[in-house]
């Protein structure tokens, strides 16, 4: 039995991984969609060249950068969080702010944010309890 299983139970690491990877994939897709929308807007074939952050209209290129950076922060936070849990938590919190701003109108995204942040905090607790 690993230290993670002892502290967090056998299911929690899987739930944490699924929540994190779901958000990563979702925001990579959103970034790709906004790249296409931005190109189409500047070509003149699409009339909407904006997106929303907390119900405020922003240019589509900014939305693309934010979606891509949120996905990157989640990925780095998940991958690096195993070795340096505090860095993982900081990246997850920063990504969560962007994600909340972009998808506050959904129900499932805030739930996944809470699970992801809980997993990052759980890694810190495991690191504190682990000897050495």
User: Does 34 fall in a domain?
Assistant: yes
pLDDT of residue 7: 53
Q: Over 70: is that where the pLDDT of 87 sits?
A: yes
Residue 20: count of CB within 10 angstroms of its CB: 23
What domain range includes position 74? 10-129
Mean pLDDT, range 33-41, rounded to an integer: 88
User: Does 112 fall in a domain?
Assistant: yes
Residue 71 burial (10 A CB sphere; 0-12, 13-18, 19+): buried
pLDDT of residue 100: 93
Domain count, the chain: 1
- Using pLDDT thresholds of 50, 70 and 90, give the confidence band for residue 131: low
Q: Are 64 and 34 in contact (CB under 8 A)?
A: yes
User: Does 35 fall in a domain?
Assistant: yes
User: Does 87 fall in a domain?
Assistant: yes
Helix, strand counts (H, E) of the chain: 5, 2
Cα 111 to Cα 18: distance, rounded to the nearest angstrom = 12
User: Does 32 fall in a domain?
Assistant: yes
Q: pTM for the full model?
A: 0.85
User: Does 4 fall in a domain?
Assistant: no
Average pLDDT, the chain: 87
Q: What is the C-alpha R_g of the chain?
A: 17
């Amino acid at each position: 039995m690993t230290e993670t299983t002892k502290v967090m139970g056998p299911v929690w690491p899987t739930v944490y991984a699924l929540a994190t990877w779901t958000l990563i994939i979702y925001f990579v897709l959103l970034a790709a969609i906004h790249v296409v929308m931005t190109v189409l807007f500047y070509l003149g074939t699409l009339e909407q060249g904006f997106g929303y952050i907390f119900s405020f209209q922003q240019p589509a290129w900014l939305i693309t950068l934010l979606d891509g950076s949120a996905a990157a922060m989640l990925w780095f936070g998940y991958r690096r969080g195993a070795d340096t849990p505090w860095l993982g938590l900081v990246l997850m919190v920063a990504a969560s702010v962007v994600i909340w701003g972009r998808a506050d109108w959904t129900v499932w995204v805030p739930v996944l944010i809470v699970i992801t942040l809980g997993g990052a905090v759980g890694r810190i607790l495991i690191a504190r309890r682990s000897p050495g």
